[in-house]
Amino acid sequence: MYLDSNRSRNGSMRKGLVCSAYGTEDVIPGCASYDEIVVPAVERALRILIMLAHARRPLKASEISVRLGFPKTSVHMILRTMERFEFVKRQPPRGSYRLGDGVRRLLEDF
């Protein structure tokens, strides 16, 4: 049985997802292998963190959106979520973002 979440609007299988039945790891033809699973929102969040880590200055959400080619709305939502967990810090008055103390604390706990 195909999982509905792995179907595109036209009913075809989405590329890049493992299509399995009820939690088994059986890969259905036309789908990516288990090792190629990518959760788009998680990938975007990690790419944003990496960009901020390499930035020489705080970046606006619009800059991040343009540089990474992500939708501006998605970037804003991801930044707001990471801000809630203190992985990024918003700097007034321009609303630019930099890495937050949550990243440092995570590394200290490692």
Residues 85 and 87: their CA atoms lie apart, in Å, by 6
| pLDDT at residue 43, as a whole number | 93
CA nearest neighbour of 41 among 66, 94, 77, 91 = 77
Instruction: Give 8-39 pLDDT, tens digit per residue.
Output: 445 544 444 444 443 445 444 555 566 677 88
Q: Which domain holds residue 52?
A: 40-109
| pLDDT at residue 3, as a whole number | 35
Q: Are residues 15 and 62 in the same domain?
A: no
Count of structural domains within the chain: 2
Q: Are residues 52 and 1 in the same domain?
A: no
Indicate whether this model's pTM tops 0.85: no
Q: Are residues 20 and 2 in the same domain?
A: yes
- Mean pLDDT, the chain, as a whole number? 79
Q: Are residues 64 and 27 in the same domain?
A: no
CA nearest neighbour of 96 among 72, 71, 64, 74 = 64
Regions of the chain short of the pLDDT cut 70:
1-35
Phi/psi at 9 (nearest 5 deg)? Answer: -60, -35
